[in-house]
Chain A
Amino acid sequence: MARKTRDVLSVEWVRLELLRTAYATRGGLLARMDPRMVLLWYVLLAAAPWLTHNVTVLIGLFVLGAASVVASRVGPLVLGLFVFGLTTDIIALFAASFFFGGDWNTLAALAVLNLKIGVMSMASMAAFISLDPEKLSDALLALRAPELLAFGVSYGYRMLPILVDEYITVLEGMRLRSAAPASRGLLGWRTVLHWSVMSVTAFYPIMLNTAKNVRTTVEALETRGFTYAAHNPKGRTLRLAHLKVRGFDVAVVLTTLALVVLAFAIGVEYPLYRIG
């Protein structure tokens, strides 16, 4: 059987793209801002759609969200997943309600909700892709989020590529050492079973490895007084001293606010409460 190589959608590509998402901000607009202001910007844009039912306003906000996604240079994988998710969501809900005797009304009603969710997802894409893990965890700490949350964010983003690498190494090793099923079976169920068993059993060595790594990390952290430093107000100020809000940040947030207000103003002028 000839092997097909897919350049675009391989696990390796997904992994690299994720790495790029987590670390290399592509230098967009929001990446240059203070992380606290980016979070404020996010809250502004994510809350706005829930304050109205006016479709005109929502379309305006959707355009604003799309513009911010372009401005912060979101990568193709994340964008593709978003578009794919939104379309399948609409299709699935529509199919379900159509199947049980609904009509176009149902779709129109759901379109409004999907528009709102779309605005919110685009805002979160733009914001969280522009923030690297260090910045995000500093911002969370500055806003007095629990220390465990801030730590979890920065640790998670750092460890993710290593963990995925390790897992793929183990899985490839198991594949090399085991024979593929002789026949594929009905609908390829033997192959599916083979892969499922491998992907689950691969977690055994991964869990042992991760336990060891976690102990090393945590003990190194605790030797440097991680938990106590996080509780200590002096340590906190020292760690967050580099955060500064500049004129640029204020300008971006104010511009967004003005655009949101503009969208609402247009909505008052040309109200549209339902589609179709």
Chain B
Amino acid sequence: MSTPAPAPDRPADQDAQQRRGTLRGAIDGVRTMELTTSQKLMVFVLSMSLFGLSNILLEIIPEPSIGPVEFSISNMIFIPLAVAALFSPLWAALGAPLGEIVFTDLLMGDFSGLAEVEGYLQMFLAIYIGGSMVRNPSNKVQIAIGAISIILIDKVLSAIVDLSKVWIGVEEAEYVEGLPQSILAVEAVGLGMDVLISGILFGAIPAIWLIPRLYGRIEPLMGMRPRVPGEPIPGDAPKGPLFVGFALFLSAASFGFAFLEAFDLSAGAWEPDFLGRFGDSFLWLSVAAILLVLGVTVLLFKLAQKRSSHDDAR
């Protein structure tokens, strides 16, 4: 493996730590920030099992609610944030939502089939973006911003999906009174509560306490060296049009699943004559669309796999 070209000189007013990090990232062939295969697997498994454990705990805790407003902790987001900030955002983000699905949803019979894909993608995006914001694991401001943005991204994405379901679904069925407004209000209040409880009380505050404490202690246990502030993010996503296309198609598919449900609500329950006019063909059309998207996804995945095995062989 060739050593990357030395970093160009930076202006003198640049943060000294920042500069040290840039230099250390490329210091020799042994200490590059490329993660090895087993290190990637370690980060993935660590994030998956810890986030799964925290979800099991939350499953046991009762969730008091006043009317439609729930005072519940939706996620202990400081755990995947810690793994992302200390090791690698990409592999932490791939692992954590899988832990949630495997540990709680599958075990508890709460598995909602293909709609889980939607939840996985939202969580993945949230942790990946939020985790990438923490460049210096001992900077408390960055940690707080990271924690809150994880909750914001996750919840806003799911609120958008929910709201557009109602908007598309109920627009022609206005005679069901109260539903759009009620869902809008519930979503807004729910978002505020989530940011307060999951984002700050069980997100930012524990993360600020935990991450600097683990920094420098947990890495040797995994056989890695601590991150130096300012160096490039380790184990970053493969930058290729294929990866982007894959992500885009997956999100399109996930919206497809969400909207199949929405279509179902509107056409199935409130407008029986709608079905009479168009027959079931409309439904089959959306099923066909989902199948098409799934097929393309599988194809892209195969291509990516072939490419990566080609890379391995080199």
* A contact residues vs B (CB 8 Å cutoff): 11, 14, 18, 21-22, 46, 50-53, 74, 78-79, 81-82, 85, 92, 95-103, 105-106, 108-110, 112-113, 116-117, 120-122, 124-125, 128-129, 146, 148-149, 152-153, 155-157, 159-160, 163-164, 167, 196, 199-201, 203-204, 206-208, 210-212, 214-215, 217-219, 221-222, 226-227, 231, 273-274
By a CB distance below 8 angstroms, the chain A residues around B38 are: 218-219, 221-222, 227
Q: Are A109 and B177 in contact (CB under 8 A)?
A: no
Contact at B46–A112, with CB atoms within 8 Å?
Answer: no
- B179 pairs with A102, CB closer than 8 A: yes
Q: Which residues of B55-76 are within 8 A (CB) of A?
A: 56-57, 60, 65, 67-68, 76
The verdict on B293 contacting chain A, using a C-beta distance below 8 Å, is no
Output the nearest chain A residue to B267 by Cβ-Cβ distance: A53
In the assembled complex, 18 residue pairs joining A and B whose CB atoms fall closer than 8 Å, in A order, are A78-B109, A79-B109, A96-B182, A100-B177, A101-B178, A105-B176, A108-B269, A121-B109, A128-B111, A152-B95, A155-B48, A156-B48, A156-B52, A167-B53, A208-B217, A215-B223, A226-B41, A231-B312
By the criterion CB–CB under 8 Å, are B214 and A210 in contact? no
- Which of B18-26, B96-104, B236-244 touches A? B96-104
CB distance from A87 to the nearest CB of B (A): 14
Give min CB distance, B34 to chain A, whole Å: 15
Give 8 nearest A-B pairs by CB, closest first: A53-B268, A125-B109, A102-B178, A100-B182, A100-B178, A109-B269, A101-B178, A124-B111
Which chain A residues border B287 with CB–CB below 8 Å? 50-51
> Do the beta carbons of A11 and B60 come within 8 Å of each other?
yes
Contacts A204-B213, A215-B42 known; 18 new A-B pairs at CB < 8 A: A11-B60, A96-B68, A100-B185, A101-B177, A148-B41, A148-B94, A148-B98, A149-B98, A152-B95, A152-B102, A155-B49, A156-B102, A160-B49, A160-B52, A160-B103, A160-B107, A219-B38, A219-B223
Across the interface, do B265 and A113 meet the contact criterion of CB distance under 8 Å?
Answer: yes
The smallest C-beta distance from A58 to any residue of chain B, in angstroms, reads 10
Which residues in chain B, 169-193, are within 8 Å of chain A measured between CB atoms?
175-179, 181-183, 185-186
Which chain B residue has the least Cβ–Cβ distance from A46? B113
- The distance from the CB of A71 to the nearest CB of chain B, in whole angstroms, is 15
User: What does DSSP make chain B's interface, helix, strand, loop or mixed?
Assistant: helix
Q: When chains A and B are docked, how far (Å) is the Cα of A108 from the Cα of B275?
A: 18
B14 within 8 A of A: no
A204 to chain B, nearest CB (A): 6
* Bound Cα distance from A165 to B298, whole angstroms: 39
Query: Cβ of B218 and Cβ of A211 under 8 Å apart?
Result: yes
Q: For residue B210, give the distance in angstroms from its CB to the closest CB of chain A.
A: 6
**Which of A95, A96, A149, A274 is B269 in contact with, Cβ under 8 Å?**
A274
Which of chain A's residues have a CB closer than 8 A to the CB of B201? 196
Are A200 and B110 touching (Cβ within 8 A)? no
Question: Which residue of B is nearest A127, CB measured?
Answer: B111
| Complex Cα–Cα for A221 and B39 (A) | 12
Which of B65, B106, B210 is the one whose CB lies under 8 Å from A203? B210
Query: In the bound complex, how far is the Cα of B94 from the Cα of A98, in angstroms?
Result: 40
Pick the residue among A14, A153, A214 that contacts B49 (CB under 8 A).
A214
CA distance A207 to B50 in the complex (A): 7
CB within 8 Å of A: which of B99-126?
A: 99, 102-103, 106-113
B158 contacts chain A at the CB level, 8 A cutoff:
no
When C-beta atoms are compared, the residue in chain A nearest to B91 turns out to be A148
Most B CB atoms within 10 A — which of A53, A74, A212? A53
Within the complex, what minimum Cβ distance (angstroms) separates B276 from chain A? 9
